[in-house]
Amino acid sequence: MSDPNAQRILVVDDDQDVLLSAQVILKAAFPAVRCLSNPGQLKDELPDFYPDVVLLDMNFTRGMVGGDEGLYWLDFIKQFDPRIQVVMCTAYGEVDLAVQAIKLGAADFVQKPWLNEKLVATVKACARLAQSEREIDRLRTTRQELGNATNKSSELVGESANFRAVLELVKRVAGTDANILITGENGTGKELIAQEIHRCSSRAHGPLVSVDAGALSPSLFESEMFGHVKGAFTDAKSDKPGKFELAADGTLFLDEIGNLDLDIQAKLLRALESRTVTRVGGTRPMHVDIRLICATNVSARQLADPFHFRQDLLYRINTVEVTLPPLRERQEDIPLLIKHFQTVYGRKYDKPDTQVSRETLKQLMAYRWPGNIRELKHATERAVILAQNGELKLSDFMTGTHGSPPESDDLNLESLEQKTILRAMQQYRGNLTQVAKAVGLGRTTLYRKLEKYGIDNKQA
């Protein structure tokens, strides 16, 4: 099987000796070389062979030396595909004719009889140029397709007043280039809001590059965000663009920005203030044009602690704050969300007609959903998988403790605390370190709470 990436060369000349000579010379450097003695055959040969480079004679009719025929076929080739590189070839070598051909799109000009090494070098350079232009077009198309995927109607679902207020704020700020800070509990849909802002912005044609900022270690931050040059460190086998470069003309979304170390925050601030980045191991600063959206599961007020987050960086990223309500504060949206996820997972698991009873919906709406929409999404997926006879039962959602019915809207703080700790003990199978982290308590405080509520590992 031939290599689809092999550089393809087409030689068009009415002199059989020239064709034979060109084929012998070029075959040593290129695996795919074809020759034509009649330029009229280009109409069939171009779509069949699809060359990277055409070595084209200037004159085909006996006695013609003005080059008009060559210029005509040059235009024909460039009309077919402007990325095909055309090298004009003549025995007369008039400088003004060469200039005219290049103005009309020729890549280069060689004079017959040619020097073999120069001919091969010229064709090689043009072949590389052709394939580079095609690769650029491929990347541009891929980028456009990614942009189109982002630009499809969003999956934001909800009609509650506080959620409509969020969407209204998003609509007002999306058209600007203002930096946005999205706050909200885990699972409330912060990344979907970032996608919606990008989709509705003037940068929607560009990329949306998402980064889990909290997962970036200090040693990897600069390489990941700013890129690196070949040889900058042991594993730098080639040049690599960073996230800032990849997001050029689009949006850079930094999730969990509240988890960044202070020294990383300083590096990020410098890049945002100067709007330039320098690849690790490089010396040339590069201008970057991005729109910044950040997200965190803590409030801007909590970020205002200077011992954990730089205030100058907070001002930089927080031109507008968008706060997402937890699902327990938009309970009327729960049936809409369940219906949406039923459709998604019904299609995925070939169960398109599942139903939820009013009583089940009522109990699901009474549950507080500590994991917010993410928890509801996973619960609905599980329910669709487990459903029998097209009905999603409460036990299929397996919410609450070991699949028991969700708790009522209990507002007693001690009762809620006890249930939360018990649920965490069961979820993490009594691992107190994970339980303490999950419920936001120190280990000593957790021990006191376990003793207070009479919870032990046997209940996990």
Tell me, what's the pLDDT at 77?
93
> Cis link prior to 113 (omega < 30° from 0)?
yes
* Low-confidence stretches of the chain (pLDDT beneath 70): 1-5, 61-66, 92-95, 138-154, 399-414, 457-460
Facing residues of 243 across strands?
none
Q: What are 254's two structure tokens?
A: 């930094």
CA dist 106 and 95 (Å) reads 14
Q: What is the pLDDT of residue 406?
A: 47
Entry pTM: 0.60
Q: Report the DSSP pairing between strands 227-228 and 276-277.
A: unpaired
Kindly state the helix (H) or strand (E) to which residue 324 belongs, with its residue range: none
| pLDDT for the residue numbered 237 | 80
Shortest CA distance to 243 belongs to which of 258, 230, 228, 261?
A: 228
Rg, the chain, Cα only: 32
Q: How many CA atoms within 13 Å lie on the side-chain side of 438?
A: 19
Cα 425 to its chain centre, rounded Å, is: 37
CB atoms within 10 A of CB 269: 17
- C-alpha to C-alpha distance for 460 and 456, rounded to whole angstroms: 7
Distance CA 236, CA 239 (A): 7
For residue 28, count CB atoms less than 10 angstroms from its CB and return exposed for 0-12, middle for 13-18, buried for 19 or more.
Answer: exposed
Cβ atoms of residues 201 and 251 within 8 Å: yes
pLDDT of residue 270: 94
Q: What is the pLDDT of residue 64?
A: 58
Q: How far apart are CA 460 and CA 107, in angstroms?
A: 74
| Torsions phi, psi for 19 (to 5 deg) | -60, -45
User: Mind listing the domains of the chain with CATH numbers?
Assistant: 8-136 (3.40.50.2300), 158-322 (3.40.50.300), 327-397 (1.10.8.60), 413-459 (1.10.10)
List C-alpha distances in Å: 68 to 89, 97, 114, 129, 417.
13, 10, 21, 26, 88
Q: Measure the CA–CA gap between 115 and 40, rounded to whole angstroms.
A: 28
Q: What is the pLDDT of residue 106?
A: 92
SS3 content of the chain, % helix, strand, coil (to 5): 50, 15, 35
How far is it, in rounded angstroms, from Cα 423 to Cα 433? 15
pLDDT the model gives residue 448: 76
